[in-house]
Structure 1
Amino acid sequence: MSAPLLVELICEELPPKALARLGAAFANGLRDGLAKRGLIDPKEEALAFSTPRRLAAGFRQVRAASEPKAIEVKLMPVSIGLDAAGKPTPALLKKLEAAGLAGADPATFKRRVDGKAEALFADATTPAIPLVEALQAALDETLAALPIPKLMSYQLADGTTTVHFVRPARALVALHGENIVPISALGLKAGRETHGHRFLGAARIALKRADDYERALGEEGGVIASFARRRAAIAQQLDAAAKTHAGSLGAAGSYDALLDEVTALVEMPTVYAGTFADAFLEVPQECLILTMRQNQKYFPLFDAAGKLTHRFLIVSNMKLADPTNIVQGNERVVRPRLADARFFFETDKKTKLADRVAQLGAIVYHNKLGTQAERVERLRRLASRIQVMLPRGSVGMPYADRAALLAKADLVTLMVGEFPELQGIMGKYYAEADGEEPSVVRAIEQHYWPRFAGDELPTGDVSIALALADKLESLIGLFGIGQVPTGDKDPFGLRRAALGVLRILSEKAEARELDLGVLLREGVEGFPAGKLGAETAASVHAFMLDRLRSMLRDKGYDANEVEAVLADNPTQVKQVWDRIEAVKAFRALPEASALAAANKRIQNILRKSEGYGAVDFALLQLPEEKRLRETLTSVTTHANDLFAKNDFRGTLTALAAIRADVDAFFDKVLVNAEDPKLRAARLGLLSDLGGVMNKVADISKLSS
């Protein structure tokens, strides 16, 4: 018999930032455990429910017991299981008992070669597993595997038993149809009584059926049990309230994390609007936004131009006819927070950024790399060198140095001390207040860009120079002392830094001609002699090419195409993107496959020939090799002209003209001639051929 199943675990308030993940893991863990034991269809989807005080999962059709299943059991090698007379050995009898096959007739066993020996197999039938047994095992496995950020220890009512869980558990519900499934967990025995909203619903609700759970909690308990439905309800209310006040919630995606968090804080959400004094809007809006979103869990409202208004939205867990007390209470709470932000800002402005730089000497950047002040000196040197390399390098040369000098000074301000997320942003405001040159102000803000995937890139030579210097200095310094990312551990954000450099070099027109190898060498030279490992630049280069490899694959390029353009460890990043497009186009030519195979053959031949001495092409004798030499000379001249213009597609397309002569050469010519001078001429011809073939990319990589 099949029926709906509900399992609910009621707890004290669960950690909000982990609730969505815990709810999904709870439901999916139970689903996998039941499916593994044959109680539900493996394709059955779990209905996940999670609120601040509960984790629950529902299933539409769950069997009362699994069905017996015919299986074949491997016993042991024949030589071990049967004696000389064909009778079962003690070892086989013990194995049969352990497998639940005691008394089985050995004559019914099958013999089959398994690996290197003949083995015995027996037909068996798995027993039916009752729901209570399967659900208990699935629940135990699920609770043990939950992604709990931090375990709590608490004692049960008996005063002696200690339980470890994310929060103290208070009740357990397990219903199959109308019947209680007598399982237990965390010192609790399953029943049918769930708990409603603390203030807006019934404290205790006796569920009649498993599939009545969501309705009963909503109508009687004042609880929206589904995390997804509760989130959607909050989003809808926020949107409606924003429109009512002629505002918006901000840029799409900017408040998603906050929406998830408040969804995990309420069971019956209701949105109210509050206000604060206009005078606070004199403070940079980033400070106010961060204060409201991070500390108070409010949703600030913006006008049509994206400017912060004096209104904010509150997501409350109380639905009241008169919310005056709630609104006024929140307005009273936010006022001192905003006042603090204003105090920090006004106090910080009294000291110029330039006067704060000396304080960086007291902040350790890394115990092996010195202080932030020492780091600033490295940034000044590298940023100035990079600016000179940019197209307008001779214009405003001191500005990259000035921006690098001031870039980290906001680390010692009150505002950044309270809100580290505002690094760079506050530096921009303070530099602006100090009357710094606009390109310096912009660079101070943008030197952290891009901060995440899809983020904006820095604009202008000074910003680009400083952003590259900041990321390259981190990569070089930390790689140089062995702080290399491993697995999923990257405490210094070096993968993000590498991707940032690659994006700037790939996407910014001003940075197109920058050579990554040169940048790395300049960066290494900024550190004291002996501070870094000997192969630091090479290690960082290899690390960045791995990131570039991932970027190319993410854009849909084939693995062989990617390896073709990265084979010679390129340092001109922008050209990699141009070259892979050329390789992709070349691969579509009818001649491509044969030329790639020929190129692979050429490389193998040259690899095996350990030097071949002087080359005299006048010694070439056969018509096929002479014709290839003539065609190659013409094609090489044409390809070189195209390559000089960065016409990589044209360079590769030009190779199509030599396909027939290459095929004829390999068909008629023996490369390893007995005459060493003739062999040298033929190898030299192949070397020249390989050189022009691989001018854009190693096309041998295209031959699978």
Structure 2
Amino acid sequence: MSELLFEIGIEEIPAGYIQPALQFLEQAVCKQFEALGLRCGQVRTVGTPRRLTLAVADLQTRQPDRRVEHTGPAKKAGFDADGNPSRAALGFARSRGVAVEDLQVTATPKGEYLVAVEDIKGLETKALLPEILAGLIRDLPFPKSMRWGRGQISFARPILWLLALYGGEVVDFSIEETKSGAVTRGHRFMAPAEITVTGFEDYLERLRQHSVLADPVERRAAVIAEVSRVVRERAGGEGAEPVLDEKLVDQVTFLVEIPWGVCGSFDEKFLELPEEVLITSMREHQKYFPVTDSDGKLLPLFVAVNNTRIADRELAVNGHQRVLRARLEDGLFFFHQDRKKTLADRRQDLAGIIFQNKLGTVLEKSERIAALAAELAR
């Protein structure tokens, strides 16, 4: 029993692609091993925007030997009354690569049939892995894929490196011009060096040392801790709390390899906007975390989670504030425009909207509904 470690190193892929890809890898490799008769222990997947990784513990080192029975023609069609083999028996034996004398007879609900027994020797797992791993790459489904260079393979983003180890030894195969090895890579900007690893636990630890939290569970906890930390630092213990929306936490987890948070602010005039507008601008558009006071009221603060630690924190904060300010200015403008007209003022605008060609305008529809409601209320 030995450990398999397989990593596909790629250009950054969209956050929404990662979890489905990891689930596919786990399910597909389990099906492959089952079909080949290979037993294994725990199957784990981890990933970031730049890597999709599969680890299989206690993978059987070779297939078990198998005995396969191939059913041929009925016994009565295979031999004549004197026991001489017919053309059917001879042809069946020849097709299975055995002597006609080695054919056996087995009883079935439909009668007795000739059987050719084949003993198949199991293959070494290491000999099977190159095609298994290459097949996983070819079969990985994505909402949108691309080709690059002169290659024919289609993938979410270009493949940069392949790490493939079984029992600590390299599983030798290639995808296009990318050859497998024992090397992974650290964070693109903070620790871009190549790293030689020996196994899954060593892989996780070496990546931590090179500014990558490969395990999404660990990275998610780090995102929450980082967001909470920068809010405490900014608010100085005044009861401010980040709004840790579960969906946003999950999205941010798959947008970064290691989280680095900054807490920014915006002009208090924007608090005039409905909370839903503010939260949507921060959470949906920018992937920022809103901040509230102890009573749940929005504060003019937000948290942005970066994928890279920037030496000039103020530069990072100002960049995020500038982007959010532009969105909120637009929101405030349209909010004021909307408030210039009452609902009653807007009613006449419905006369210019066709509801249905033979049923008139939306205004006429609303008048019919009002008449029906009045009739029902009597």
Same fold at TM > 0.5: yes
Structure 2 matches for 1:453-532, cutoff 5 A?
A: none
Structure 2 letter corresponding to 1:247: A
- Which residue matches 2:60? 63
The 1-side partners of 2:283 and 2:45 are apart by 27
> 3-state DSSP class of the match of 1:17?
helix
The 1-side partners of 2:253 and 2:358 are apart by 44
C-alpha spacing 1:172/1:84, structure 2 compared with 1 (3 Å): farther
- Which residue matches 1:279? 269
Pair 1:184-2:168 in alignment: no
**Distance apart, 1:127 and its partner CA:** 2.7
**Distance apart, 1:339 and its partner CA:** 0.8
- Which residue matches 1:595? none
**Distance apart, 1:351 and its partner CA:** 2.5
Structure 1 letter corresponding to 2:299: T
- Which residue matches 1:427? none
- Which residue matches 2:329? 339
C-alpha spacing 1:80/1:378, structure 2 compared with 1 (3 Å): farther
- Which residue matches 1:237? 226
Structure 2 letter corresponding to 1:57: L
Q: TM-score, normalised by structure 1?
A: 0.48
The 1-side partners of 2:146 and 2:115 are apart by 48
**Distance apart, 1:174 and its partner CA:** 0.9
**Distance apart, 1:125 and its partner CA:** 3.0
Contact 1:73 1:123 (8 Å CA) reproduced: yes
Greater share of helix residues, 1 or 2?
Answer: 1
- Which residue matches 1:13? 12
The 2-side partners of 1:144 and 1:247 are apart by 48
> 3-state DSSP class of the match of 1:153?
coil
- Which residue matches 1:52? 49
**Distance apart, 1:111 and its partner CA:** 1.8
Structure 2 letter corresponding to 1:35: E
Residues 340-360 of structure 1: CA distance to partner in whole angstroms, max 9, x if unpaired? 111111112223333434555
- Which residue matches 1:32? 31
Structure 2 matches for 1:30-179, cutoff 5 A?
A: 30-41=29-40, 44-78=41-75, 81-82=78-79, 86=83, 101-104=96-99, 106-114=101-109, 116-156=110-150, 161-179=151-169
The 2-side partners of 1:259 and 1:189 are apart by 35
> 3-state DSSP class of the match of 2:17?
helix
Contact 2:130 2:171 (8 Å CA) reproduced: no
> 3-state DSSP class of the match of 2:12?
coil
The 1-side partners of 2:268 and 2:73 are apart by 83
Contact 1:268 1:318 (8 Å CA) reproduced: yes
- Which residue matches 2:342? 352
The 2-side partners of 1:256 and 1:267 are apart by 18
> 3-state DSSP class of the match of 2:123?
coil
Greater share of strand residues, 1 or 2?
Answer: 2
The 2-side partners of 1:89 and 1:370 are apart by 85
- Which residue matches 1:606? none
Q: 1:247 aligns with which of 215, 218, 240?
A: 240
Q: How many residues align?
A: 374
- Which residue matches 1:226? 215
Residues 468-489 of structure 1: CA distance to partner in whole angstroms, max 9, x if unpaired? xxxxxxxxxxxxxxxxxxxxxx
Pair 1:293-2:283 in alignment: yes
Pair 1:313-2:310 in alignment: no
Contact 1:132 1:182 (8 Å CA) reproduced: no
The 2-side partners of 1:36 and 1:189 are apart by 26
Structure 2 letter corresponding to 1:155: G
Residues 386-444 of structure 1: CA distance to partner in whole angstroms, max 9, x if unpaired? x95xxxx67xxxxxxxxxxxxxxxxxxxxxxxxxxxxxxxxxxxxxxxxxxxxxxxxxx
Gaps of 5+ in 1: 395-704
The 2-side partners of 1:374 and 1:80 are apart by 84
Residues 2-26 of structure 1: CA distance to partner in whole angstroms, max 9, x if unpaired? 2211111111111112211112212
**Distance apart, 1:64 and its partner CA:** 2.9
> 3-state DSSP class of the match of 2:39?
coil
**Distance apart, 1:144 and its partner CA:** 4.7
Contact 1:177 1:210 (8 Å CA) reproduced: no
The 1-side partners of 2:356 and 2:176 are apart by 45
Structure 1 letter corresponding to 2:97: A
Residues 154-191 of structure 1: CA distance to partner in whole angstroms, max 9, x if unpaired? 233xxxx3321221212211111221111333553211
C-alpha spacing 1:352/1:179, structure 2 compared with 1 (3 Å): same
> 3-state DSSP class of the match of 1:331?
helix
Contact 2:90 2:100 (8 Å CA) reproduced: no
The 1-side partners of 2:82 and 2:133 are apart by 49
Contact 1:132 1:181 (8 Å CA) reproduced: yes
Q: TM-score, normalised by structure 2?
A: 0.85
- Which residue matches 1:208? 198
Structure 1 letter corresponding to 2:9: I
C-alpha spacing 1:306/1:130, structure 2 compared with 1 (3 Å): same
Contact 1:29 1:141 (8 Å CA) reproduced: no
Pair 1:198-2:188 in alignment: yes
Structure 2 letter corresponding to 1:5: L
Structure 2 matches for 1:669-680, cutoff 5 A?
A: none
The 1-side partners of 2:156 and 2:111 are apart by 51
Contact 1:266 1:316 (8 Å CA) reproduced: yes
C-alpha spacing 1:354/1:33, structure 2 compared with 1 (3 Å): farther
**Distance apart, 1:93 and its partner CA:** 5.5
